[in-house]
């Protein structure tokens, strides 16, 4: 396990005037580099050779320095990490970073300072720990069933570590669920029932809220000793959203929950109080469960129904790809900043403020 003290040791040798914002070239890297560049940070991208041209194709979001690796996991190799340290890099973790490198490898092997509190990865990478976090926060979550025979409503079934919803399915009864689980076991998609998560199917409209918890800025919505900002929101689009196009005989392929893109949206203003309240509860619970708690960007994945309110079904405790919709800010950021503000730039701004006040240690681990 790489400890906070290990990271502080590495950081103490950094040339803080040359702090470099770094990530692997995937997911939200264009946004991260673009935001960092706009605040005059140096940037470094770890890329595979076949992706490099993508980042060169967008000159205003291109990293100043590239490190080429054969696979993203190579970021853990000693010589790559040493190069990142030599360049005074702070790594910004994003969805692909966590997916390719692996939460436990990040916790156990990555000695380069990382933006935010990496302990959060223990909580976000495990569905049952996420639920524990939501319970601690007092949030409404989907009912969960351990045993198919207990099922008394329409259910939504998720595979472990499924990438963006691929293969998820629904069942209308205990009988249908048992049949479908048998089918997935026969196909060797899972080995045992314990591997799937069986949740109540929650009807309603999905909202993905992009929050930022800042320890550096004053004013605004005070939560703990920081400020909680609602930067933007999106809705993920999945083939199931377009199922109506196949009516009246919807082809089976439409019953697919794989995320294929993101759409912008805004929330009815009277619901903002619920949204901000959920964000605040998540931050406060994180401070109790894993002090000093979550730092920086996170996303609450919710379903709203007028008669049920918000149900939270997942959290991403880092920048999410839905923020890529807003490189110049969202319909909410003008109420927080008098300049364009993406989540990528917001991360750079937090680093800049921490540098100016010599408080980097509070936001890196």
Contacts to ligand AMP from residues 177-236, by CB under 6 A:
199, 201-202, 206, 236
Q: Please tell me the distance from the alpha carbon of residue 141 to that of residue 135, in angstroms, as a whole number.
A: 8
CA dist 161 and 59 (Å) reads: 34
Nearer to ligand AMP, 7 or 275 (CB): 275
Q: Which is nearer to ligand AMP, 55 or 145 (CB)?
A: 145
Q: How far is the CB of 167 from ligand AMP (least distance, A)?
A: 10
User: Helix 29-38 to helix 343-356 angle, to the nearest 10 degrees?
Assistant: 40
User: Contacts with ligand AMP in 116-145 (CB under 6 A)?
Assistant: 142
One residue of 211, 313, 326, 365 binding ligand AMP per CB under 6 A:
313
Name which position in 14, 123, 168, 209 contacts ligand AMP (CB under 6 A). 168
Nearest-CA neighbor of 365 among 301, 290, 300? 290
- Are the CB atoms for 238 and 258 separated by under 8 Å? yes
Q: With respect to ligand AMP, which residue has the nearer C-beta, 9 or 203?
A: 203
User: What's the CA gap between 274 and 230, in Å, rounded?
Assistant: 12
Minimum Å gap between C-beta 315 and ligand AMP is 10
- CB closer to ligand AMP out of 109 and 267: 267
* Nearer of residues 227 and 236 to ligand AMP, judged by Cβ: 236
Quick one: DSSP state of residue 253? G
- For tokens 């790809």, the residue is 321
With CB under 6 A, what is the number of residues at the site for ligand AMP?
14
Distance CA 365, CA 359 (A): 13
Q: How far is the CB of 276 from ligand AMP (least distance, A)?
A: 22
Peptide bond into 174 cis (omega under 30): no
CB of 98 to ligand AMP, least distance (A): 14
* CA distances for 300 relative to 4, 160, 184, 210, angstroms: 26, 19, 29, 7
Residue 169 in contact with ligand AMP, rule: CB under 6 A: no
Please report how close the Cβ of residue 141 comes to ligand AMP at its closest, in angstroms: 9
Residue nearest ligand AMP, Cβ-based: 165
Residue of 301, 340, 353, 362 interacting with ligand AMP (CB under 6 A):
301
Bond into 308 cis (ω within 30): no
Cβ–Cβ under 8 Å, residues 231 and 332: yes
Q: Please report which helix (H) or strand (E) contains residue 179, including its range.
A: helix 174-186
Residues 215/228, Cβ–Cβ less than 8 Å: no
- CB of 314 vs ligand AMP, minimal distance in Å: 4
Which string of x and - marks every residue 225-264 that binds ligand AMP (by CB under 6 A)?
-----------x-x------------------x-------
Q: How many CB atoms sit inside 10 A of residue 131's CB?
A: 20
Give the nearest distance from C-beta 235 to ligand AMP in angstroms: 8
Indicate the SS3 state at residue 89.
Answer: strand
Residue number, 120 or 131, with CB nearest to ligand AMP: 131
Give the residues lining the site for ligand AMP (CB under 6 A). 142, 156, 165, 168, 199, 201-202, 206, 236, 238, 257, 301, 313-314
């Amino acid at each position: 396990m790489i400890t906070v003290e290990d990271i502080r040791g590495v950081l103490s040798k950094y040339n803080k005037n040359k702090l470099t914002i770094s990530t692997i070239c995937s997911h939200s890297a264009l946004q991260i580099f673009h935001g960092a560049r706009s605040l005059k940070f140096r940037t470094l991208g770890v890329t595979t050779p076949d992706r490099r041209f993508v980042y060169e194709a967008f000159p205003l979001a291109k990293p100043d320095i590239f490190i080429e690796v054969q696979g993203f996991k190579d970021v853990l190799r000693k010589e790559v990490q040493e190069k990142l340290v030599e360049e005074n890099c702070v790594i910004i973790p994003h969805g692909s970073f966590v997916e390719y490198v692996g939460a436990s490898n990040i916790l156990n092997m990555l000695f380069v300072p990382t933006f935010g509190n990496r302990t959060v990865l223990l909580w976000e990478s495990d569905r049952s720990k996420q639920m524990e976090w939501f319970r601690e926060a007092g949030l409404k979550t989907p009912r969960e069933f351990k045993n198919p025979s207990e099922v008394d409503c329409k259910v939504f079934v998720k595979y472990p570590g499924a990438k963006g919803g691929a293969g998820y399915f629904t069942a209308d009864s205990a009988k249908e669920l048992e049949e479908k689980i048998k089918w997935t076991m026969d196909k060797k998609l899972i080995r045992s029932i314990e591997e799937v998560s069986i949740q109540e199917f929650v009807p309603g409209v999905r909202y993905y809220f992009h929050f930022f918890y800042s320890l550096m800025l004053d004013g605004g919505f005070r939560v703990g000793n920081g400020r909680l900002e609602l930067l933007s929101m999106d809705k993920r689009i999945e083939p199931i959203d377009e199922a109506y196009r196949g009516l009246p005989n919807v082809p089976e392929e439409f019953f697919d929950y794989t995320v294929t893109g993101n759409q912008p949206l805004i929330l009815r203003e009277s619901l903002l109080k619920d949204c901000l309240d959920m964000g605040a509860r998540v931050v406060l619970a994180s401070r109790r469960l894993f002090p000093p708690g979550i730092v920086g960007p996170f996303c609450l994945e919710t379903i709203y129904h007028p008669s049920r309110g918000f149900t939270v079904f997942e959290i991403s405790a880092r920048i999410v790809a839905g923020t890529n919709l807003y490189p110049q800010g969202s319909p909410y950021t003008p109420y927080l900043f008098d300049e364009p503000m993406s989540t990528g730039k917001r991360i750079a701004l937090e680093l800049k403020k921490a540098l100016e006040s010599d408080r980097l240690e509070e936001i890196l681990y």
